[in-house]
């Protein structure tokens, strides 16, 4: 087993900050840029890991907060860790639980020590501290684990976000001390809300810690999408070039393309499986509602250029029928397609960067969005 983590940059775009690279982990490599599907409860909803592997996914996520509440990290560790528990032998990442504590829980109290909240499952009081988050993630056993941070809401006052960033930095130092496994890489998270000065200060101080990877967090929390690009452009250049950069919670075509142009390597988002559960297919930059009558007698493939199992075998009419009948297979077939679609989108960008065609081939996504594009596009 390879115990060290390494990021190799293979090619840089000559017009943007985009780069193609390889991130090596103990469970294999991740070719970047790459979209990572989210398996909240150690399952990417409705997909077996064999189906997931066929989508081209190389690294997937699981959520520490959800797994701590159910089934508990002790059970996952008892199974031999997340990889064995869910039968996925490729790279995995767990988040710190911070984002869910701040977005889902009835927050009780944030102190210097950590966060105390009421479990939405059974009402019991849970305390999550930097040390506890790392202990849980050490027990879960993913290849990449994330520092415990505060994700400030949007909007929030500069003074609040500044104090929160300082505390997140002190929490990071405690995470580094608490982390015990050399076969797991601990990534730090740049916070700072929509304040570019705070983002830059956080990025510069994190860069000095020489961590194996860096994330930009606290975006996609309700701020206008164009701010995400500004945050990436202000932050990514301050992070070490020889380490992977991960933009948390972003997975739309335009935002990924623009963040890649700003120098980001990894992405995650629940939208491909969430859309699938709503009967929505992501097709070449558009969202299609398969319930629509226009698909009832359409016997063509969802996307005949897509290599996925769904597009290679089934018609739009069949998918429309399954969605209208609320058949479980609808959600599996649409998840297979949607995950494949987003992974392929980042793979195509990767190939374009390797041959220095990214800025021209993906100009559609890099140019400012026309206002008419706001409806129906992803």
Q: Give the residue numbers marked as catalytic.
A: 95, 268
Nearest distance, CB of residue 301 and Zn ion, angstroms: 8
Nearest distance, CB of residue 10 and Zn ion, angstroms: 27
Sheet holding 125-128, edge to edge: 106-110, 115-118, 125-128
133 among annotated binding-site residues: no
Residue 356 burial (10 A CB sphere; 0-12, 13-18, 19+)? middle
Q: Which is nearer to Zn ion, 32 or 310 (CB)?
A: 310
Would you tell me the crossing angle of helices 158-178 and 130-140 to the nearest 10 degrees?
Answer: 50
Nearest distance, CB of residue 341 and Zn ion, angstroms: 6
358 among annotated binding-site residues: no
Q: Which is nearer to Zn ion, 316 or 337 (CB)?
A: 337
Q: For residue 111, what are its two tokens?
A: 């102190």
Site of interaction with Zn ion (CB under 5 A):
306, 308, 310-311, 337
Helices (H) and strands (E) in the chain, counts: 16, 16
Per the CB < 8 A criterion, the answer to whether 133 and 97 are in contact is yes
Which of these, 270, 269, 263, lies nearest to 244 by C-alpha position? 263
Which of these, 249, 247, 241, lies nearest to 207 by C-alpha position? 241
Q: Which is nearer to Zn ion, 241 or 344 (CB)?
A: 344
SS3 for 237-293 is HHCCCCCCEEECCCCCHHHHHHHHHCCCCEEEECHHHHHHHCCEEEECCEEEECCCH
Q: Which is nearer to Zn ion, 199 or 337 (CB)?
A: 337
193 among annotated binding-site residues: no
304 among annotated binding-site residues: no
Report the C-alpha gap between 159 and 64 in whole angstroms: 29
149 among annotated binding-site residues: yes
Nearest distance, CB of residue 337 and Zn ion, angstroms: 4
Residues comprising the binding site for Zn(2+)?
306, 308, 311, 337
Residues comprising the binding site for substrate?
95-99, 149, 191, 218
Residues comprising the binding site?
95-99, 149, 191, 218, 306, 308, 311, 337
């Amino acid at each position: 087993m390879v115990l060290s983590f390494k990021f190799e940059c293979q090619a840089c775009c000559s017009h943007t900050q985009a780069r193609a690279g390889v991130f090596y982990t103990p469970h294999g490599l991740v070719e970047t840029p790459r979209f990572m599907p989210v398996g909240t409860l150690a399952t990417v909803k409705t997909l077996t890991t064999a189906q997931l592997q066929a989508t081209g996914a190389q690294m997937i996520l699981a959520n520490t907060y959800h797994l701590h509440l159910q089934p508990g990290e002790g059970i996952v560790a008892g199974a031999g860790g997340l990889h064995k528990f869910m039968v996925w032998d490729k790279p995995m990442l767990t988040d710190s639980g911070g984002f869910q504590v701040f977005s889902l829980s009835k927050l009780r109290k944030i102190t210097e020590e950590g966060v105390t909240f009421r479990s939405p499952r059974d009402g019991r009081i849970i305390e999550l501290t930097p040390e506890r988050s790392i202990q849980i993630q050490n027990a879960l056993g993913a290849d990449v684990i994330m520092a415990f941070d505060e994700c400030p809401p949007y909007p929030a006052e500069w003074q609040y976000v500044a104090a929160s960033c300082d505390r997140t930095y002190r929490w990071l130092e405690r995470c580094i001390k608490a982390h015990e496994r050399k076969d797991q890489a601990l990534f730090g998270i740049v916070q700072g809300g929509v304040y570019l000065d705070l983002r830059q200060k956080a990025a510069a101080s994190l860069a000095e810690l020489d961590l194996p990877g860096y994330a930009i967090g606290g975006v996609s929390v309700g701020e206008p999408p164009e701010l995400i690009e500004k945050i990436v452009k202000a932050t990514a250049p301050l992070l070490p070039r020889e380490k992977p950069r991960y933009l948390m919670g972003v997975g739309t075509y335009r935002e990924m393309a623009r963040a890649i142009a700003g120098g980001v390597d990894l992405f995650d988002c629940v939208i491909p499986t969430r859309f699938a559960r709503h009967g929505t297919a992501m097709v070449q930059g558009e969202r299609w509602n398969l319930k629509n009558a226009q698909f009832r007698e359409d016997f063509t493939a969802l996307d005949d250029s897509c290599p996925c199992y769904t597009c290679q075998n089934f018609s739009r009419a069949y998918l429309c029928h399954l969605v209208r009948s609320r058949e479980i297979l609808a959600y599996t077939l649409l998840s297979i397609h949607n995950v494949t679609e987003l992974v392929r989108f980042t793979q195509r960008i990767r190939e374009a960067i390797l041959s220095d065609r990214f800025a021209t081939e993906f100009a559609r996504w890099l140019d400012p969005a026309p206002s008419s594009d706001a409806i129906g596009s992803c």
